[in-house]
């Protein structure tokens, strides 16, 4: 199947700020003009449009059965994960996609070369990077069933990837305009929707989660 894996040098990516520093900077769509002046971006520049999209995305209401939060510090991310998992889960870990070979190719056909390995977790939190002058992660969790897999892939050019995939088993609350439905030609709630995670995204699961045999 054709898969797009953005390959970014994580050493050059913005880092999560310390909580005190992050909380000292406004993070609101309504303060966008002030933020553009703070970061010295022109109003109609690509950077300004990216900031606008990120702030709008972060302030959009979650769908039914979903919780979401945009976090700008590691402490805020851990707070959200703890709140989502509840007091009964004291330890958790991240899993992420890993590229085993170095290649400039971003988009190509990949073959699943081994049986996908289910991660036995009864809940999960997904955190996706968003474009911003410093690191912002859009973290969310759904009450409906989601299944996490680790998948071994090989590209046409022999790229090897240990990819994290998530399958959303109930999409009945998703917008009918969601890109997944247009790509797959299906309606909300009719079929599961699965997708791979890029290497700079994170999936949090309880540390008790184990691969199924």
pLDDT tens-digit readout, 74-109: 999 999 999 999 988 889 999 999 999 988 889 999
Which position has the higher pLDDT, 145 or 139?
Answer: 139
Residues in the chain: 213
Helix, strand, coil shares, percent, the chain, to 5? 25, 30, 45
Indicate if the pLDDT at residue 213 is higher than 60. no
As a whole number, the mean pLDDT across the chain is: 92
Indicate if the pLDDT at residue 207 is higher than 80. yes
pTM comes to: 0.90
Structure confidence at residue 212 (pLDDT): 53
Structure confidence at residue 28 (pLDDT): 95
Structure confidence at residue 13 (pLDDT): 78
Structure confidence at residue 139 (pLDDT): 98
Structure confidence at residue 198 (pLDDT): 93
Question: Using CA atoms, how far apart are residues 27 and 10, in angstroms rounded to an integer?
Answer: 23
Indicate if the pLDDT at residue 15 is higher than 90. no
Structure confidence at residue 159 (pLDDT): 94
When pLDDT is averaged across residues 161-187 and rounded to a whole number, the result is 91
195: nearest Cα among 162, 163, 154, 166: 166
When pLDDT is averaged across residues 26-52 and rounded to a whole number, the result is 95
Indicate if the pLDDT at residue 200 is higher than 60. yes
Enumerate residues 6+ apart whose C-beta is below 8 A from 79: none
pLDDT band at 210 (very low <50, low <70, confident <90, very high): low
Neighbours of 127 (CB within 10 A): 23
Structure confidence at residue 206 (pLDDT): 92
Enumerate residues 6+ apart whose C-beta is below 8 A from 90: none
How confident is the model over 123-142, as pLDDT tens digits?
Answer: 899 999 999 999 999 999 99
């Amino acid at each position: 199947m054709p898969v797009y894996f953005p390959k970014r040098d994580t050493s050059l990516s913005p880092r999560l700020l310390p909580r005190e520093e992050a909380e000292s900077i406004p993070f609101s769509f309504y303060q966008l003009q002030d933020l553009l002046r703070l970061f010295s971006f022109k109003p109609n520049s690509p950077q300004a449009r990216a900031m606008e999209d990120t702030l709008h995305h972060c302030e959009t209401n979650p769908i039914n059965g979903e919780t979401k939060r945009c976090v700008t510090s590691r402490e805020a991310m851990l707070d959200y994960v703890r709140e989502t998992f509840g007091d009964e889960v004291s330890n958790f870990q991240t899993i992420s996609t890993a590229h085993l070979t170095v290649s400039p190719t971003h988009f190509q056909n990949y073959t699943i070369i081994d049986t996908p390995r289910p991660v036995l977790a009864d809940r999960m939190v997904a955190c996706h990077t968003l474009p911003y002058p410093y690191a912002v992660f859009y973290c969310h969790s759904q009450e409906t069933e989601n299944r996490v897999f680790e998948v071994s892939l090989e590209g046409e050019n022999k790229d090897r990837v240990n990819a994290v995939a998530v399958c959303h088993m109930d999409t009945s609350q998703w917008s009918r305009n969601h890109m997944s439905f247009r790509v797959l030609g299906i309606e909300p709630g009719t079929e599961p929707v699965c997708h791979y995670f890029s290497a700079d995204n994170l999936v949090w699961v309880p540390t008790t989660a184990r691969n199924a045999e």
